[in-house]
Chain A
Amino acid sequence: MFHVKKGIFVKLKHLAPSAALLAVGALTLSACGGASATGEDVSGEGDSGLAGTITGIGASSQKAAMDAWTADFVSANSGVTVNYSPDGSGAGREQFLGGNAQFAGSDAHLDEDEAEAAKEVCGPEGAFEFPVYVSPIAVAFNLEGVDSLNLSPETIAKIFKGEISNWNDEAIKADNPDAELPDLPITAVHRADDSGTTENFVEYLKEAAGDLWDAEVDGNFPKEYGGEAAQGTDGVVQTVSDTEGAIGYADASAVGSLGQAKVKVGEDFVELSPEAAAKVVDASPKVEGRSEGDLAFDLARDTTESGAYPIVLVSYHVVCSTYQDQNTVDLIKAWEKFVVSEEGQQSAAKSAGSAPLSPELRGQIETVIDSIKVAG
């Protein structure tokens, strides 16, 4: 019997080295070659002397832009690691206020209570917040022979409520005297899932169309209004593309070759463009009663400013006014300055399809970033 036991250990001894070899081999096999996205060795390429880790938590809407910013920032500052966990706006603000992240990404600015709470984490001046990511939402339609469509907020609201159900409705005709509108039922497509796109779109309708839109502003599209539901941005675009006579809303970067409606602002119909989207932020008033560095905006969805496109999603970065040590201050300043810089905004525009901030707003934000300092 003891011979058998010995045999087992002998076998173990034979097996162990080969198993270890296998594991080490598997790891080192992939270790050769640069560990970056393109296989090029990026270390030491841009050594700015900055070193450390920046941690952010927040909105998933700016994740694609964040990828672009991180990629460019890290290649210019090889000693820096930027982590961003797209857990959601609410989670981001909460973790930031709990001291678990150095900055938060959020689709909504801090509310009164949160701004108060920020003073505990960030010192007497509280948190600074500023828009970094403006993403226009397109009202996309699929109508053969119609390239350009003018819609007023009231008409859009009625279409998505199901009150206007045919393309040759008088209300649509009145805004589009030159278009040949077919006798075709309208299929209004909305998001089936909870989404920031829906929330911003519905908020626009609520503010711009007055009492017509009587549902709560929420990430879920009101069920009682009917229409066709589609899963995710891709689902909406797909459904609109496949259905003649369909209309839907989706992030502008995703609508591709579909027609995009011009939206009535003041007396004009405004076409979706990055400049027009950035303009609505400039036309909006700041939230009252905040510190000087707090660039939180009450988005003026009902603006009459000519050339502003009001259906946008604006995402903020929330940072502290003071940090504990000089290194963190330097890191955050360099990082946020890059994010709002011309280069950073253009990079996000290319990779994520966002609208670059206007130069005036960038100037304001840079002043705010410059005032971040060490606590004490």
Chain B
Amino acid sequence: MLTTSDTTPSRSRSLTSKQLPKATPWVIAVASIIVAAGISFLGLGRFSITVTAVLAGALNAIAVFAISAAYEGRRKAVDRVATTVVSSTFVLACVPLISLLWLTVSKGGAALDLNLLSRTMLGMKGILDQQYVAGEAGLAGGFYHAIVGTVLITLAACVISIPVGVLAAIYLVEYAGKNKLGKAITFLVDVMTGIPSIVAGLFAFALFSTIAELVMPAAAGVAKTGFTAAVALSVLMIPIVVRNTEEILRLVPMDLREASYALGVPKWKTIVKIVLPTSVSGILSGVTIAIARVIGETAPIMVTAGFAKTLNWNLFSGWMSTLPTYIYDSQLRPVSPGDAAIASSERAWAAALVLVALVMILNLLARVIAKVLAPKAGR
């Protein structure tokens, strides 16, 4: 390189010469946003976020290309445009997430107070909401029963699906090898991953209706319980747990197992003492993600657990509410129609905030678990 640079000075200059200052892309981005806002203001007579964003994106790409091509040459200009497009797409992908969080936090935060967390909808009627909207009373009602329902149903779903899922994954990785049963299970798990959640709900409801009819033919509506909902959720959860656990178990090095066998340790003990401890962090974070996935399910809960208004700690009898069904019901069918429907909507937003917080805490927990329990590399 050094020798060629002596003989052909023009080439060497192209490597080191003319580079735009580092801040240039940022300056161009800010400038295009301002210009786009100006055009939107002049063209429409008002400020429109959508028009500004679309215009700013286009302007930015064009300006980056033009400036860079004029100063640095075509190759660098194309590279810079690619960088700009990729970054803009990233920003675009963040927009729905941030706007969703912002909406939930601002609307839910405004409505949320401790009373909502400790009250149920027992004794709730439209007149209370009308008084609230008229400013004569505080916001009545709450979703303590829905929080309890969410926690109980999700816990029950975990109790069913974690052992089944983890053991199935252990079978697939440690025992099945490439046999037919293993392939069949893998195929079925793949199919189960794609089951629409409402189908899982209908399955659980049909199953328990049939059982209820055989056991207690006279009783009406005994098939809708928290446990039925838990079964529906576990149908959705098991494939996720199996998939995650399988991936993690396959990452455990064969050397570890072979070393254990060489010391005369039986297979089951090798799995319990070597394979599982090595992968426990991955398994637990996989489980947490599966929980976060099902905790927000609405459709299967509606079909299987109904819409309860009161507190119910019994998973095996009576209807239950969960936060998603509570939100759905409040938003769609307010306690008081007309002007006072806003009160139901406020409760729904507060419940949405609590649900989002629950899911976020679960995800953070998964991170923490993965970090704390991760086996240390080497000594």
Contacts and interface: CB of A to CB of B under 8 A. Distances in A.
A358 to B, nearest CB: 22
Contacts of B352: none
A252 B6 CA distance: 90
Contacts of B256: 1
A85 B333 contact: no
A37 B121 contact: yes
B128 interface: yes
Interface in B282-321: 302, 306-311, 318-319
6 contacts: A32-B118, A34-B119, A35-B118, A55-B220, A81-B318, A85-B319
Interface stretch (A65-73, A108-116, A172-180, A265-273): A65-73
Contacts of A9: 277
Interface string B220-264: 110110000000000000000000000000000000100000000
B221 A15 contact: no
B117 interface: yes
B122 A68 contact: no
A38 B332 CA distance: 22
B337 A8 contact: no
Q: Which of A12, A23, A38, A72 has the most CB of B within 10 A?
A: A38
Contact of A30 (B118, B220, B335): B118
B130 interface: yes
A60 interface: yes
A198 to B, nearest CB: 16
Contacts of B310: 35, 74, 81
A39 B307 contact: no
B318 A74 contact: no
Interface stretch (A142-150, A285-293, A300-308, A348-356): A348-356
A64 B122 contact: no
B271 interface: no
Interface stretch (A96-104, A183-191, A219-227, A362-370): A96-104
Nearest to A84: B307
Interface string A33-46: 11111110010000
Contacts of B319: 55, 83, 85
Interface in B324-350: 329, 332-339, 341
A37 B124 contact: yes
Interface of A: 1, 4-5, 7-9, 11-12, 15, 23, 27, 29-39, 42, 53, 55, 57, 60, 63-64, 67-68, 70-72, 74-75, 81, 83-86, 99-102, 233-234, 251, 253-254, 256, 324-325, 347, 350-353
Contacts of A74: 122-123, 310
A36 B119 contact: yes
B210 to A, nearest CB: 12
Contacts of B123: 36-38, 42, 71, 74-75
B151 A352 contact: no
B53 to A, nearest CB: 26
B120 A35 contact: yes
B337 A251 contact: yes
A233 B273 CA distance: 63
Interface residues of B, number: 59
Contacts of B5: none
B119 A64 contact: no
A72 B127 CA distance: 11
Contacts of B221: 55, 57, 83, 100-102
Interface string B128-170: 1010000000001110110110010000000000000000000
A74 B123 CA distance: 7
Contact of A100 (B119, B220, B309): B220
Given A31-B118, A251-B338, 17 more contacts: A5-B375, A11-B373, A12-B280, A27-B148, A30-B117, A35-B120, A35-B145, A35-B311, A38-B140, A63-B333, A68-B126, A71-B122, A83-B306, A83-B307, A85-B302, A352-B126, A352-B336
Nearest to B334: A64
A108 B119 CA distance: 35
A64 B120 contact: no
A39 B337 contact: no
B372 interface: yes
Contacts of A83: 221, 306-309, 318-319
B218 A324 contact: yes
A253 to B, nearest CB: 5
Contacts of B273: 5
Which of B117, B125, B274, B311 has most A Cβ within 10 Å? B125
A38 B119 contact: yes
Nearest to A7: B376
B375 A4 contact: yes
A23 B155 CA distance: 11
A196 to B, nearest CB: 13
Contacts of B124: 37, 67, 71
Nearest to B369: A15
Contacts of A85: 302, 306-307, 319
Interface string B356-371: 0000000000000100
Nearest to A33: B118
Nearest to B137: A38
Nearest to B117: A30
B372 A37 contact: no
Nearest to B155: A23
A86 B333 contact: yes
Nearest to A96: B220
- With most chain B CB atoms within 10 A of its CB, the pick from A37, A70, A83, A101 is A37
A42 B123 CA distance: 8
A351 B335 contact: yes
Nearest to B221: A55
B115 interface: yes
B277 A5 contact: yes
Given A35-B144, A100-B221, A233-B337, A351 B125 contact: yes
A325 B125 contact: no
A272 to B, nearest CB: 15
The winner among A81, A84, A85, A234 for most chain B CB atoms within 10 A is A85
